[in-house]
Chains A and B, each alone.
Chain A
Amino acid sequence: MNAALLQPAFADPVLDAQRSFRAALKALAGPGVMHTLQAAQRPPALSGLDSATHALCLALLDIDTALWLAPAFDTPAIRANLAFHCGSPIVTERQHARFALLDDSQLHDLAGFDLGNDRYPDQSCTLLIQLPSLGGGRSLSWSGPGIETENKVALPLSDGFWQQREQHNDFPRGLDMFFLADSDLLGLPRSTRVAQAAQERA
């Protein structure tokens, strides 16, 4: 480990990790609703990771959670800091990962991640997907558990991604995802049904 690359993490390790965990929980419980981390609970910037991504890594990863890194995040600084503050082993094979850190160049192919099994669907891999922004894409209608009627979400994602998600969703097995940009996060659990909005509102 290169000690010169290390930098501080949460200012208040216990409370900030709990606040970030709470935000992640709410994001998955109410899919499609944007949550913003408060300035005080954001960890200092780590080159390549947005503050929401960094906060979720610090809150969710520990020594028992193997992590898969997309090539864009596989830098010495990110490796050193995650190894130091989280202690999570970094794996090269997707199927061994409990968490995976992806950028938008990886979204055309979600093959290989562990979907869990019918007895323990909770053992699936959770994807942390960092995007340039959480808006500006085509508006889609999300519905399902945690959504009263429907949520309109306009993530900047290609059709290829939605096809991949459909392909790797065999309920109760499937992938839960967090979309992260800057200090915002948005959850997409496997149970959410995504349909193209019937009518575009002008």
Chain B
Amino acid sequence: MNPVTDPTIAARQRWIGVLARAVGDELSRHESALRDAEYQLIRAPEIGMTLVRGRMGGTGAAFNVGEMSVTRCVVRLADGRTGYSYLAGRDKPRAELAALADAHLQGPQQQHWLAQLIEPLAQAQARRRAEKDAETAASKVEFFTLVRGED
């Protein structure tokens, strides 16, 4: 995938990624704030399947890893801003909240939402990831070949 050069698109990709990785009640905690706007469902939350493809080593020929369930949603606020969400799994309320968050984040209150919603989520995700990495690193086994016995 080519890196995105447009900073507004890169910023939106980041918060959409953060929203997609939110777990448990991380989004529903903000439900009342997110829903505190007049909005319309352009595409009501719907569950579907998507095919995940990969490349061996990131460069080989593409192969199909398998299918996963995905929930997506599109909302529009009264002022015309649209918010999109695509989340792994089958959680419709969470998809609606993530789409609402995306819509709010494109508005004049962007800094407020970034500070209140996205940054705490991103920090929590970074923390979880670091814990997982540390756990994995602790169980890492290094194999050395001392003598190959070639001579």
Q: Quick check: is B40 within 8 A (CB to CB) of the other chain?
A: yes
**Contacting residue for A6 out of B42, B44, B46, CB 8 A:** B42
For B80, what are the chain A residues with a Cβ–Cβ distance below 8 Å? 3-4
- A8 touches B (CB below 8 Å): yes
CB distance from A119 to the nearest CB of B (A): 31
B41 and A8 contact, CB distance less than 8 A: yes
Closest to B74 in A: A6
Interface size on B, residues (CB 8 A): 10
Min distance, Cβ A122 to any Cβ of chain B, angstroms: 27
A13 at interface, CB cutoff 8 A: yes
Asked whether B42 lies within 8 Å of A7 as measured between CB atoms, the reply is yes
Using an 8 Å CB-CB cutoff, how does the interface string of A1-30 with B read, 1 for contact, 0 for none?
A: 001101111000100000000000000000
Shortest CB distance A30–B (Å) = 33
A16: min CB distance to chain B, Å:
12
Residues of A within 8 A of B71 (CB): none
Asked if B85 is at the interface (CB within 8 A of a chain A CB), the reply is no
CB under 8 Å from chain B, chain A span 129-159: none
Which residues of chain B are within 8 angstroms of A84 by Cβ–Cβ distance?
42-43
Report B-chain residues with C-beta under 8 Å of the C-beta of A13: 44, 46
How many residues in A have their beta carbons less than 8 Å from beta carbons of B?
9
User: How many angstroms from the CA of A4 to the CA of B76 in the assembled complex?
Assistant: 8
Nearest chain A residue, comparing its CB with the CB of B80:
A4
CB distance from A157 to the nearest CB of B (A): 36
List B64-115 residues whose CB lies under 8 Å from chain A: 74, 76, 80, 82
Tell me the nearest residue of chain B to A12, going by C-beta: B44
Interface-central residue, A3, A4, A7, by most chain B CB under 10 Å: A3
Please state if B42 and A8 are interface contacts (CB–CB under 8 Å).
yes
Smallest beta-carbon distance A60→chain B, Å: 19
Q: A48 to chain B: closest CB distance in Å?
A: 18
The answer for the CA separation of A157 and B4 in the assembled complex, in Å, is 53
CB distance from B104 to the nearest CB of A (A): 15
Contact of A3 among B40, B41, B82 (CB under 8 A): B82
A85 to B74, CA, bound (A): 11
Beta-carbon nearest neighbor of B84 in chain A: A3
Chain B residue nearest to A10 (CB atoms) is B44
A selection of 18 A-B contacts at a CB cut-off of 8 Å is: A3-B76, A3-B80, A3-B82, A4-B80, A4-B82, A6-B42, A6-B82, A7-B42, A8-B40, A8-B41, A8-B42, A8-B43, A8-B44, A9-B43, A13-B44, A84-B42, A84-B43, A85-B43
A residues neighboring B (CB under 8 Å): 3-4, 6-9, 13, 84-85
Q: Could you tell me which B residues sit within 8 Å of A by CB distance?
A: 40-44, 46, 74, 76, 80, 82
Name 11 extra pairs, CB < 8 A, besides A8-B43, A84-B42: A3-B76, A3-B80, A4-B80, A6-B42, A6-B74, A6-B76, A6-B82, A8-B44, A13-B44, A13-B46, A85-B43
